[in-house]
A and B are shown apart, each in its own frame.
Chain A
Amino acid sequence: MDEILRVENLSIAFGHNRVLNDLSFEVFENEVLGIIGPNGAGKTVLLNVLTGILKPDSGRIVYKGKDIAKTKIALRTRMGIGRTFQVPRSFEGMSVYENIMVGGVYGRLLSEKEAGAGADEILEHIGMAGRRGEIAGALGLLDRKRLEIGVALASKPDLLLIDEAAGGLTESEIANILEIVRGAKQKGVTVIWIEHVLQTMLEGTDRTLCIAEGRNVICGPPRMVMDSPEVHAVYLGTEEDE
């Protein structure tokens, strides 16, 4: 399998707080790579570095064979890197449909017509068909999380980064998210999926990477990773997550 993303020796520190430490891993085309790790492990910081919100101190981000470390935020999206936020950041004054339009028009430089034409399919995909007119600011948590994924999908990403879509949701709602991610994979999207809910990682990912203190602890088949002594050591002493 070809790799779509290779992260090499990525490091970033905030003052004395070294959040990513020589982190390396790769992502293969059309897989779902799960990322687990205790609170503060650097998972969100990793996504912020991958999307350009934070600049790494050192290391390389090779996406589709190109080092994108210097590429601007908006351009990375247009190159096919979409993401969701741990705390949803929808455009609250805009409708569900308009939120999705932003993704298509600016994330993929579609005309409004093209983006509008694709919107129904995306609404269908995220299970929000028929709700295009609702104002994003009035949506509940599940809907906001789904809409986040929808807006990211609207930019037709090749690589989708999901930051804790299941956190705070009920079991049936999580199943809903799982369904959406599977749908994305079926369409050929590669997914990096950060999640604390281990059961979801077992069911929904092809490989799982465990990060602690910004280091690659172990990476491999989900079952193997979760049963490994390394992961148990990492979670020992920290809270029991599900």
Chain B
Amino acid sequence: MGAVFSKIKDNLKEGIRENSENSLARKIAHGKNAKFIWIAVMAVLLTVPAYAGDYAINVMILMLFYMALGQMWNLLGGYAGLVSLGQQSFIGIGGYALAIVSEKYGLPAPLAFAVAAGVSVLFALVISIPIFKMQGVYFTIGTWIVSECLALWFSTWAWVHYAQGYNITVTYNLSAKQIYYVAFAVGIGSLAVVYFILRSKLGLALMAMRDNSAAAEVRGVELYRTKLKCFVISACVTGVAGAAIYLQQAFIQPSNAFGISWTVSMVFIVVIGGLGTVEGPIIGAVIYVLIRQFLYNFPGFSMVILGIIAIAIILLAPRGIMGLVQKWVSIDIFSVRRR
């Protein structure tokens, strides 16, 4: 694990160097152009339900959800140097927030999003106390163990219906279109969160940490605090995404909600798309969802294919697909550069 990530880091650096040495880079998406692309993409996304069929809408929903999850994992793994395998803790917390608010208490579902955000933040703060004492691989394993404990606890907890879980009946009254707009809000919201973080003072520290965390500390960046901020923000948005995801799935159980496969997907998405870039998780999510849909009937097989792609990219393509693309054309749609 550690070796793989240091390899990714090396690739990242190499890619950055190659990228900036590439004088042939044509600038297709800077400044004004970027604005047009932005507006066009938003217009397309907002009107998808008007012309797309249910299948396409559902694929888009998945892409938006996974993009949001990828963005949040990237904030940790790509910038803060926190390789988590336990983001499913927050998906589960978000999903259960929805189940409990709407099923158990019959309260309006939108309230669930606030509860999901709040409980995720609280849980992240509490769990950070022991988990931030662990470094590197131990942190990674620690986050995973926390999720496994949650799964176990929820399976034996009467208040949440043990391992049987909940049917989330509010979903029955929602159309695919309505859920699409929820997914749209979550997806674009996560993108906005990352974008504004990177443009802020915090972002300056994060980019420095991405490039060299030891040097960042010597330059005055307080690593612990910065990492904690990322951990909490990431937990919050992942929790909200979890509530939205289970609003679509209409059924929640501990084994699924707190399953590691959520985070494995996030890692695939970010590594394939490009670690430590804003665009990476978008590209990664699109590819991930497409491959999963094409190989829908062979779920095990699609994981193998994704695994092979991810490993190939780690070994061959610096900075994931985003890095590969940037070798040829200089795309900077989400410019977080300071000038």
Interface residues of A (CB under 8 A from B): 51, 53, 72-74, 77-78, 83, 85, 89-95, 97-98, 101-103, 105-109, 112, 116, 132-135, 137-138, 151, 155
Contacts and interface: CB of A to CB of B under 8 A. Distances in A.
7 contacts: A73-B217, A74-B217, A85-B215, A89-B215, A94-B208, A105-B205, A138-B20
Contacts of B212: 89-92
Main secondary structure of the interface of B (DSSP, over half): helix
A116 B13 contact: no
Given A74-B219, A92-B16, 12 more contacts: A73-B217, A73-B218, A74-B217, A89-B218, A90-B215, A91-B216, A102-B205, A105-B201, A106-B221, A135-B16, A135-B19, A137-B17
Contacts of A74: 217-223
Contact of A101 (B19, B211, B338): B338
Contacts of A133: 339
A102 B216 contact: yes
B315 interface: no
B220 A78 contact: yes
Interface in B203-234: 204-205, 207-208, 210-212, 214-223
Contacts, number: 102
Interface string B105-138: 0000000000000000000000000000000000
Contacts of B210: 93
Interface string B7-34: 0000011001101110000000000000
Interface of B: 12-13, 16-17, 19-21, 201, 204-205, 207-208, 210-212, 214-223, 276, 337-339
B338 A135 contact: no
Contacts of A95: 337-338
A106 B205 contact: yes
A98 B212 CA distance: 14
B128 to A, nearest CB: 18
A94 B222 CA distance: 19
Nearest to A109: B220
Given A73-B217, A102-B204, A102-B205, A93 B211 contact: yes
B204 A105 contact: yes
Contact of B220 (A85, A97, A132, A155): A155
Nearest to B199: A112
Nearest to A135: B20
A241 B223 CA distance: 39
Closest CB pairs A-B (n = 9):
A106-B220, A135-B20, A107-B220, A89-B215, A91-B211, A138-B20, A77-B220, A93-B16, A137-B17
A132 B337 CA distance: 12
A24 B41 CA distance: 64
A173 B20 CA distance: 24
B215 A98 contact: no
Given A89-B214, A92-B17, A107 B204 contact: no
A53 B215 CA distance: 10
Contacts of B218: 51, 53, 73-74, 77, 83, 89
A112 B338 contact: yes
Nearest to A98: B338
Contacts of A93: 12-13, 16, 207, 210-211, 276
A137 B16 CA distance: 7
Contacts of B219: 74, 77, 102-103, 106-107, 151, 155
A116 B211 contact: no
Contacts of B221: 74, 102, 106
A50 B47 CA distance: 60
Contact of B211 (A85, A92, A105, A112): A92
A74 B217 CA distance: 5
A128 B305 CA distance: 48
Nearest to A79: B220
Nearest to A97: B338
B14 to A, nearest CB: 9
Nearest to A85: B215
A234 to B, nearest CB: 29
Q: Indicate the member of A85, A89, A93 with the most B CB atoms within 10 Å.
A: A93
Contact of A112 (B20, B201, B207, B216): B201
A151 B222 CA distance: 17
Contacts of B337: 95, 98
A135 B16 CA distance: 8
A24 B217 CA distance: 26
A132 B220 CA distance: 21
A150 to B, nearest CB: 12
Nearest to B338: A98
Contacts of A151: 219
Nearest to B21: A138
Contacts of A108: 220
A91 B215 contact: yes
A139 B219 CA distance: 20
Nearest to B225: A74
Contact of B20 (A51, A89, A90, A137): A137
